[in-house]
Amino acid sequence: MRQPFLFYIHYEMNTTSKRLYASSRTALPKAGKTIWWLLKIILPISLIVSSLQYWGVIALMAGYLSPAFALIGLPGASAVVFITSIFVPLYGPIAIISTLPMDMRQITILALMCLISHNLFVETAVQKKSGSSAITMFSLRLCTSIAGAFILNLVLPAHIGSSHIIQKSIVFVNVQEMLLNWIISAGKLSLKISLIISGLMILQSILKEFSLLDKISRLFAPLMRIMGLSNDSSFLWFVAQTLGLGYGSAVMFEEIENKSITPLHANLLNYHIAINHSLLEDTLLFVAIGVPAGWIIAPRILLAMLVVWSVRLILKFKMKKSTESVISIQN
């Protein structure tokens, strides 16, 4: 009895190893395509932004926005942070925040804006490729970041969190130093993107191979219904919340290409994750500098839910009007 049992265990382990290897081998070429697509967008944008910062163009743009920022309880200098966040991931804006004389209340409002509108050009490109309108997604994120900041300024207590310590900002003495810093940063970013996306694509392939995606979808299904999303959005929603739009793009493209989610449901999901994504990593980045987590998590979730349910109502109204028009023509 012992030998057949050991043979069975050995056979199962051998079969599992082969399935894991096959899943990984299938995933890597797809990951490579997405990595190349992302880097073609991210690297030129990061170089342009580094140049604009060096030559003072972003600071000049921020100067014109200062009066508007005063309406949401922020000093004029915070406009530099918000404009920078539009072009790049959150590490850059957080580095600038550490150099500004702002209290934690102001930083919390600014954090919410940056969390919604960061890396806007790259992430809008991702959402466009996954089937949504680039103009709609871009405008939605800008408008909700401003609306969210306005509301937050009304409800936030006068004093929250810990005091803010100002650090010295980095100033480049010449173009060569700026370019060297960009090359080093771009190299690190490229490596990070390659490792994360490759690992994520392998994980997705393994989950599919062992039929685990359905279990994840069922686990998050009740939450999806509350948020106005479909059950087949579950896995992509989970990926977007843990890894964000950029790193999670490979999985999104794969799921849409395989028709695992309908275009309508993918578009509704994009409305949600445009406002509320990377709930784990991005939130922790601001928590690390003292921002209270609740004040930057709850508004994003509530705004995303409000937008999705509003879009569903609009679509339902349009469908009803279209049906009435057809009936009227037939009569």
Amino acid at residue number 47: L
pLDDT in tens, 203-253: 777 877 777 766 777 788 889 999 999 988 888 898 888 778 877 777 788
Q: Which residues of 31-57 are buried (b: 16+ CB within 10 A; e: fewer)?
A: beebbebbeebbeebbbebbebbbeee
Looking at every residue in the chain, the average pLDDT score rounds to 82
pLDDT > 70: percent of the chain: 88
Q: What is the per-residue pLDDT for 159?
A: 80
What's the total number of domains in the chain?
1
Contacts of residue 181, Cβ cutoff 8 Å, sequence gap at least 6: 50, 172
Give 264's pLDDT tier (boundaries 50, 70, 90): very high
Give 101's pLDDT tier (boundaries 50, 70, 90): confident
Q: Is 297 helix (H, G, I), strand (E, B) or coil?
A: helix
- From CA 212, how far away is CA 222, in angstroms rounded? 18
- Top mean pLDDT of 3-12, 119-128, 244-253 is at 119-128
Q: Token digits for 102?
A: 């702002």
pLDDT > 90: percent of the chain: 30
Query: What are the φ/ψ torsions at residue 119 (nearest 5 degrees)?
Result: 50, 45
Asked whether the beta carbons of 250 and 31 are under 8 A apart, the reply is: yes
Asked whether the beta carbons of 130 and 315 are under 8 A apart, the reply is: no
Amino acid at residue number 13: M
Residue 139 or 49, more confident: 139
List the domain range (segments joined by +) for residue 303. Answer: 2-330
- From CA 144, how far away is CA 58, in angstroms rounded? 22
Chain-centroid distance of CA 256 in Å reads 18
- Top mean pLDDT of 6-20, 121-135, 178-192, 212-226 is at 121-135
Give 186's pLDDT tier (boundaries 50, 70, 90): confident
Tell me 231's DSSP state: G
Category of 90 on φ-ψ map: left (φ > 0), alpha (ψ -120 to 50) or beta: alpha
Give 8's pLDDT tier (boundaries 50, 70, 90): very low
Find the mean pLDDT for residues 189-214.
76
Q: What is the per-residue pLDDT for 278?
A: 87
Asked whether the beta carbons of 296 and 108 are under 8 A apart, the reply is: yes
pTM of the complete model beyond 0.85: no
- Top mean pLDDT of 151-155, 235-239, 326-330 is at 151-155
Half-sphere exposure of 259 (CA within 13 A, CB side): 0
**Burial of residue 307 (number of CB atoms within 10 Å: 0-12, 13-18, 19+):** buried
- From CA 184, how far away is CA 165, in angstroms rounded? 27
Q: 10 Å Cβ neighbour count for 135? A: 10
Find the mean pLDDT for residues 197-207.
77
Q: What is the per-residue pLDDT for 161?
A: 66
Helix axes 57-70, 2-54, angle to 10 degrees: 90
Lowest mean pLDDT across 33-47, 121-135, 143-157, 159-173: 159-173
- From CA 269, how far away is CA 248, in angstroms rounded? 13
pLDDT in tens, 107-119: 999 999 999 999 9
- From CA 60, how far away is CA 78, in angstroms rounded? 13
Q: What is the per-residue pLDDT for 296?
A: 95
Asked whether the beta carbons of 99 and 166 are under 8 A apart, the reply is: yes
- From CA 101, how far away is CA 115, in angstroms rounded? 20
